[in-house]
Amino acid sequence: MARADRRALDEAQRPKAEDSAEPKREESKDTKPEARTEKRQDKTAAEREQQPKAARDEKSAEKSPDKKKHADNSAYLRKLGQLIRARSPGTTSLGEGSAVVRFRLGASGAPNSVTVVSASSAKHGELARSIVSGLRAPPPPGGAYDGVQSFRFH
């Protein structure tokens, strides 16, 4: 036989690397996820069988008020942030500076107390205090809200 014929015969008899690798990949992809899925389903079913229905219902009932409370608090904080930003000046004649105030909002949403925690100058502290003191927010969830607000003036 000629060399070219032998080479052609050898190549035809040998499987290509791509051909031999593909079925293995497909096979492993098909078998492993199914096995994992079955295990997860079995585990979930076993966990459900271990907990009585009343306990599962109680757990879901506990989560609902907590989620609602968290959502109410988050919405309130967003609104409070908007109100504070609306009262804050874009620029001041005081120059650059910062201040931190601690405050308490009562059941009506009006500040009961506003204290300057720190400030780069007394004027910056007084400006931050006046921003929060004049705040009129909606009634906080839970009846009162204690907060800390930092300001950076330009």
103, 146: one domain: yes
For residue 40, how many other CB atoms are within 10 A of its CB? 10
Q: What is the pTM of this model?
A: 0.58
Host domain of residue 20: 3-50
44 and 66 assigned to the same domain: no
Residues 91 and 146 in one domain: yes
Report the CATH number at residue 125. Answer: 3.30.1150.10
Give the other-Cβ count within 10 Å of 33's Cβ: 10
Alpha-carbon Rg of the chain, whole angstroms? 34
Q: Say whether both 74 and 146 belong to one domain.
A: yes
CA 124, chain centre distance (Å): 33
Cα–Cα distances (Å) from 137 to 8, 97, 132, in that order, read 86, 26, 10
Task: Please report the pLDDT score of residue 40 as a whole number.
Answer: 52
* Domain-located, residue 116: yes
Instruction: Share the mean pLDDT of the chain.
Output: 77
pLDDT of residue 150: 97
- Residues 28 and 71 grouped into a single domain: no
Cα 40 to Cα 23: distance, rounded to the nearest angstrom? 26
Q: Would the pLDDT of 25 be above 90? A: no
The total number of structural domains that make up the chain: 2
Domain membership of residue 12 (yes or no) is yes
**Tally: H helices and E strands in the chain:** 4, 3
Q: What are 132's two structure tokens?
A: 């929060």
Alpha-carbon span 138 to 50, nearest angstrom:
46
Is 128 in the same domain as 77? Answer: yes
Q: Residue 134: pLDDT band by 50, 70, 90 thresholds?
A: very high
Taking only the tens place, the pLDDT of each residue in 59-89 is 555 557 788 888 889 999 999 999 999 999 9
Q: Which residue has the higher pLDDT, 141 or 49?
A: 141
